[in-house]
Structure 1
């Protein structure tokens, strides 16, 4: 486990890794306690869901008995603002997203507009209207730089089942315009680049911990960071057989990972 000794930042997926629905997974608290006892190491939560902002997740974790700061949560929405601030601080942005995502962009210094935007950004928008989708397609056809927060086609909901997510909206826009966006969220490296910028920690000292091969583990290879698969969620050992995506390490859960640190 020599490689893990070099890790200063553990990025944790949330659902299936730290909790499942509203239930904290066994091993999560020992992992938090272990990191707290390591002065040169820290953890942060990394999620593709751009419908909520960082404070929404902090409140959910508080209800589970954990005290984390906003700075310890990175959403694909925040990662998108970090990426755009590197391109053009204070830019004019046409944004499809929830009120929480709009707040995230405004607090990052962007001007939200329906006219002459510098960027067109597609996030998870549960208040979506045909008119705003039409405007997005118009901007994309006009070659306004087109960004999507994350590529997930469906979003799980608390009572079971799924609702269409940003990836489904991307498919709509592509069918109409023939164009695809630059995508920030997992499995693309931009979300890890944003985390590295935010915490000022180099990629070689970052590990991604998650339960999904095609997002959490795939982003490790894309971004050149250590990837750690936990078997507490979606992926089982049988899923690794024949998969081109392979983690650097495999643990049953966060508790087993904690014992190795």
Structure 2
């Protein structure tokens, strides 16, 4: 379904959500492999985009390869890496007080940052599944003292196979810190455009040639609006047609899945 007059054929670069778009849990979605093959065959480029900052890129490469997708680390962009690149562009070799997993710590060290609680230039909050009260307390002290506060993404819950199906994510931690300090963070990941700015710079592409393909209105499609790129919603994951009807967010296109998107790209 086309909602706005944006020509699919002009699109050359695709930011792809993963869970709900390419796979669902541990299963590859029907037509996903053929869609990715068509993008490659038609000289289009794509990058897998995720808000999860608890894992490094190699984890996602392994997951995709286990599903039969021949991905490499250059085709993965996490909100953690996007945050590191955002800070690096503004202040190379910065001193960072980081609330994050060992994977995220490794990411920041690889980008040349010093991880410390002594006179940091920034406090950075990732999806810290190793969060302790001591780290939280120190972060709040630093934020109250005026150290700039950055978060990798705003998701409140992270889907999981555990009990209720969700565990607290960065957004929940942000609310706790805000309640204590009264300070809001600068956020890099979806739905904010900074993560797409990083991708556009990496791929050297034009916004009018770039699309976000995903299954969530409030992250994937909202980010497309914020970044002024084409938003392509697939109904293979979280969002339904009813959600679209009731939403103020308007994707450019809606397809049942990436299989139908691939067919439309070939026919357009």
Question: Counterpart of 1:220?
Answer: 224
Question: Counterpart of 1:251?
Answer: 255
* Separation (CA, whole Å) in 2 of partners of 1:201 and 1:142: 39
Question: Counterpart of 1:80?
Answer: 83
Query: Post-superposition shift, 1:242?
Result: 2.9
Aligned ranges 1:144-183 → 2 under 5 Å: 144-159=147-162, 161-183=165-187
Question: Counterpart of 1:120?
Answer: 123
Query: Post-superposition shift, 1:110?
Result: 1.0
State the secondary structure of the residue aligned to 2:246.
coil
Question: Counterpart of 2:135?
Answer: 132
Question: Counterpart of 2:215?
Answer: 211
> TM-score under structure 2 normalisation?
0.95
Query: Post-superposition shift, 1:235?
Result: 0.8
* Separation (CA, whole Å) in 2 of partners of 1:3 and 1:89: 39
Question: Counterpart of 1:23?
Answer: 27
1:97 aligned onto 2:103 = no
* Separation (CA, whole Å) in 2 of partners of 1:199 and 1:85: 18
Query: Post-superposition shift, 1:198?
Result: 1.4
Q: Deviations 1:7-35 (Å, cap 9, x if unpaired)? A: 12111101100100000001101101101
Q: 1:198/1:253 Cα in 2 relative to 1: closer, same or farther (>3 Å)?
A: same
Query: Post-superposition shift, 1:116?
Result: 0.6
Query: Post-superposition shift, 1:158?
Result: 2.9
> TM-score under structure 1 normalisation?
0.97
State the secondary structure of the residue aligned to 2:70.
coil
Confirm or deny: 8 A CA contact 2:28 2:67 kept in the other structure. yes
CA RMSD of aligned residues (A): 1.1
1:111 aligned onto 2:114 = yes
Alignment gaps of 5+ in structure 1: none
Query: Post-superposition shift, 1:193?
Result: 0.6
State the secondary structure of the residue aligned to 1:208.
strand
Confirm or deny: 8 A CA contact 2:123 2:150 kept in the other structure. yes
